[in-house]
Amino acid sequence: MSYKAKFRVWRGEGGEGKLEDFTVEVNEGEVVLDIIHRLQATQAPDLAVRWNCKAGKCGSCSMEINGRPKLGCMTRMSTFTEDETITVTPMRTFPVIKDLVTDVSFNYQKAREIPSFTPPSGVEPGEYRMQQIDVERSQEFRKCIECFMCNNVCHVIRDHEENKPGFAGPRFLMRIAELDMHPYDVADRKDSAQEEHGLGYCNITKCCTEVCPEHIKITDNALIPMKERVVDRKYDPLVWLGNKIFKR
Ligand code: SF4
Ligand code: F3S
Ligand code: FES
């Protein structure tokens, strides 16, 4: 069964733009990205949208649908009523390149600031031996498809451009936690998490966890444990004594 839906889509570039209204055909089983593609094919050939897999796995088609961050390819039209106006806008935290396409280079910049896995010297690849529990712990974080919807929704940077230099965002604070939990990683992740990557800005509102399409428990399983690790270290009497002696 097909019907005509009302779509309101943000169009613009170079810092300027407005919402444009469309009436567009919807067929059974379609998702929001299908409708955007139909708009391109029939009414707005220059409408810009980023996508790749159409299977919820590449993380490219992040957008805001009725004000909520969503993957366009995983948002079924059947979740809306036929008379509803569906508003599609680009992710708000990142600058718009054109229409629904945002410049997410902030995230890649943050990724580059985090040193990669750092094993102890003298241990060769193939010699690492890990407990299954340690493997499983990071497995959840590795489901991340880098859609950046968690970073998009976090209030620390959503309307606060000034916080961006000092805040890696939930996606990359989770990456730091993943590395810190790795039994063979010897880099100092705790001080840098707090001092360079803004772990202290996170006040565990959990908005990031709510929007994650991979259902990763970012706050409970990565951010809160990382905060505990940082605090443990700060109040560890041996570390405290070491610092005292060292500073003399
Ligand atoms: Fe997207 Fe979830 Fe990865 Fe954040 S943690 S980038 S919301 S998949
Ligand atoms: Fe932001 Fe998630 Fe913390 S939304 S404040 S990083 S719990
Ligand atoms: Fe790949 Fe939507 S197109 S996640």
pLDDT band (50, 70, 90) for residue 242: low
pLDDT confidence of residue 34: 98
> 239 CA to middle of ligand 3, Å?
46
User: In testing the pocket of ligand 2, which one of 149, 151, 153, 156 has its CB within 8 Å of the most ligand atoms?
Assistant: 156
Give me the interface pTM, i.e. the ipTM: 0.98
In this structure, which ligand is nearest to the CA of 150? 1
pLDDT confidence of residue 248: 53
> 244 CA to middle of ligand 1, Å?
40
Rounded Cα distance between 33 and 60, Å, is 11
Q: What does the pLDDT look like over 76-97, one tens digit per residue?
A: 999 999 999 999 999 999 999 9
Cα 118–Cα 123–Cα 128 angle in degrees, nearest 5: 85
Residue 232 has pLDDT above 90, yes or no: no
Pocket lining: 208 vs ligand 2, CB cutoff 6 Å:
yes
Q: What does the pLDDT look like over 105-149, one tens digit per residue?
A: 999 999 999 999 999 999 888 888 889 999 999 999 999 999 999
Give 85's strand partners.
6
Rounded Cα distance between 204 and 206, Å, is 5
Q: Mean pLDDT over all residues of the chain?
A: 94
User: In testing the pocket of ligand 1, which one of 145, 175, 207 has its CB within 8 Å of the most ligand atoms?
Assistant: 145
Q: What does the pLDDT look like over 149-164, one tens digit per residue?
A: 999 999 999 999 999 9
Atom 7 (ligand 1) nearest CA = 212
User: In testing the pocket of ligand 1, which one of 68, 147, 151 has its CB within 8 Å of the most ligand atoms?
Assistant: 147
pLDDT confidence of residue 10: 98
Question: Which among 67, 45, 97, 96 is positioned nearest to 37, based on CA atoms?
Answer: 45
Rounded Cα distance between 126 and 151, Å, is 35
Residue type, 248: R
pLDDT confidence of residue 239: 60
pTM surpassing 0.95? Answer: no
Ligand 2 atom closest to 173 (CA): 6
Q: Which residue has the higher pLDDT, 238 or 248?
A: 238
